Chains A and B, each alone.
Chain A
Amino acid sequence: MQSLKKRSDLLVEEIEDEVVIYDPRTHRVHHLNPMASIIWELFDVSVSPQEIVKEIVEALKTDSSTVEKDVQETLKHLQERGLLE
């Protein structure tokens, strides 16, 4: 998972706290909910899922096991939809 990064050819629109992504390869549009949007943003600065979890837990003062699950699921979801490479 560490070697994955966001595809550079995607159009990303940030609208309020959420992200909408247009994929020019498939012409599909993806909407990320607020938590997935945070994870998407942190994906730029954090090198591993563990670091993303750590950042979110610190920022939101929340339970790490729930965040861990969210991060894993979101990254899986992004990968399945071909938004990471």
Chain B
Amino acid sequence: MSLSTARFEVLSFPFELTTDDKKFFDEFLELNSALTLPGNGKLPQVQYSVIKNTKYFCIRENGKFRNRWAHRWPLYLSVMMCVRDSLYLHLKEYLFLHSGALAKNNKAVLLPGPSGSGKSTLTLGLLNYGYQYLTDEVVVIDLSDLRVLPFQRPVYIYGWQSVVSAEVEKYFKFYRFKERYGNTLQPWQYAVPQQEAILPKDTSFEVAWIVFPTYNETQKDSYLKPMSRAEAAFNLMQNGWNTQYFADFGLKLCSELVKKADCYELVMGDLKEACELIEGLTGKTPASVESEALNNIWKQKVLL
């Protein structure tokens, strides 16, 4: 059995991955290219292993069984779920929120919401309007200054259609594959930020807008509704990945965060309109964007 091992660092969390599956190892390196740094000699806090026995790939964390899969495709997501759980547990200097985030002119817009709210769809849509990608799922707030840090995991997208304009496509690499659900094969793709879209790990952005998206399939258009800062703080607490570790300090953090930002609810019935409403928050007239990519995102209901 030939083993591949590598050490990584995400934020300030060093970890190690060992596997006997070279294909998965290469995939893990490629998909994490924008998210992690090499371990650089730091001792790993957690060791993960993915070893194949006769039937399954077994995922272990510090030797303890975590999960098993018959196929290769869920491995990346499954290992990264373990990594994320460890981040939330070990890193106390960050607040992690279930939210998408983008930046423009050095200011960040957060898109917090539970699965199904449309935050990932909106994140992809806004890439077409010149926003920089920060994350589509895990917002990292540095507690020392309440600024948002990039957490550029690959965007996980249903369908193989092009979801960004030709201009944006240059900055992402797309990995297309099929996943088996029962007897059917479904097309999925990862969009991995490339050199030009990768932000230095010490870049941070002031949170200027917090927009809570809600997807409404009966709605034809989209509209923004101002939200009180108290309600926004309450909603942020509901979307915290690690607020439980902070107890009452979590509410203080969320309160401080909303005091510095303009807060809105975005009811989404049309993606182009939703993107333009957010673009309009910056005070600029929204640029006209080719709607083909937006239509593809909307058609697929990407990651709603």
Q: What range describes how many residues of B lie at the interface?
A: 10 to 19
B153 within 8 A of A: no
A16 within 8 A of B: yes
Contact with B along A9-52 (1 / 0, CB 8 A): 00101011111101010010111100001000000000000000
Instruction: Report the separation of the CA atoms of residues A17 and B228 in the bound assembly, to the nearest whole angstrom.
Output: 9
Residue numbers in A under 8 Å from B230 (CB-CB): 13, 15-20, 31-32, 37
Which of A16, A20, A24, A30 has the most CB atoms of chain B within a 10 A radius of its CB? A20
Q: What is the chain B residue whose CB lies nearest that of A12?
A: B251
> Interface size of A by Cβ–Cβ distance < 8 Å?
16
B252 within 8 A of A: yes
In the bound complex, do residue B238 and residue A15 qualify as a contact, i.e. CB atoms below 8 Å apart? no
Known: A15-B259, A16-B229, A18-B228. A31 touches B247 (CB 8 A): no
Question: In the complex, what's the smallest C-beta–C-beta distance from B238 to chain A, in angstroms?
Answer: 7
Residue numbers in B under 8 Å from A17 (CB-CB): 228, 230
Q: What is the chain A residue whose CB lies nearest that of B250?
A: A22
B273 within 8 A of A: no
In the bound complex, do residue A29 and residue B238 qualify as a contact, i.e. CB atoms below 8 Å apart? yes
Q: What is the chain A residue whose CB lies nearest that of B255?
A: A13
In the bound complex, do residue B247 and residue A18 qualify as a contact, i.e. CB atoms below 8 Å apart? no
Q: What is the chain B residue whose CB lies nearest that of A31?
A: B234
In the bound complex, do residue B231 and residue A27 qualify as a contact, i.e. CB atoms below 8 Å apart? no
Instruction: Report the separation of the CA atoms of residues A19 and B244 in the bound assembly, to the nearest whole angstrom.
Output: 20
Residue numbers in B under 8 Å from A11 (CB-CB): 248, 251-252
In the bound complex, do residue B233 and residue A15 qualify as a contact, i.e. CB atoms below 8 Å apart? yes
In the bound complex, do residue B231 and residue A31 qualify as a contact, i.e. CB atoms below 8 Å apart? yes
In the bound complex, do residue A15 and residue B255 qualify as a contact, i.e. CB atoms below 8 Å apart? yes
Contact with A along B232-252 (1 / 0, CB 8 A): 011001100000100110111
In the bound complex, do residue A27 and residue B244 qualify as a contact, i.e. CB atoms below 8 Å apart? yes
Give the contacts of B285-303 with A (CB-CB under 8 A): none
In the bound complex, do residue A15 and residue B258 qualify as a contact, i.e. CB atoms below 8 Å apart? yes
Question: In the complex, what's the smallest C-beta–C-beta distance from B252 to chain A, in angstroms?
Answer: 7
Contact with A along B203-232 (1 / 0, CB 8 A): 000000000000000000000000011110
Instruction: Report the separation of the CA atoms of residues A77 and B259 in the bound assembly, to the nearest whole angstrom.
Output: 27
Instruction: Report the separation of the CA atoms of residues A16 and B234 in the bound assembly, to the nearest whole angstrom.
Output: 13
In the bound complex, do residue A29 and residue B244 qualify as a contact, i.e. CB atoms below 8 Å apart? no
In the bound complex, do residue B252 and residue A15 qualify as a contact, i.e. CB atoms below 8 Å apart? no
Question: In the complex, what's the smallest C-beta–C-beta distance from B34 to chain A, in angstroms?
Answer: 33
Known: A15-B230, A31-B230. A22 touches B251 (CB 8 A): yes
Q: Which 9 pairs from chain A and chain B are nearest by CB?
A: A18-B230, A31-B234, A11-B248, A15-B230, A22-B251, A29-B237, A13-B255, A15-B229, A22-B248
Some 19 contacts from A to B, beta carbons below 8 A apart, are A11-B251, A13-B230, A15-B259, A18-B229, A19-B230, A20-B234, A20-B237, A20-B255, A22-B237, A22-B247, A22-B250, A22-B251, A27-B244, A27-B247, A29-B237, A29-B251, A30-B234, A31-B233, A31-B234
Q: Point out residues on A near B: beta carbons under 8 Å.
A: 11, 13, 15-20, 22, 24, 27, 29-32, 37
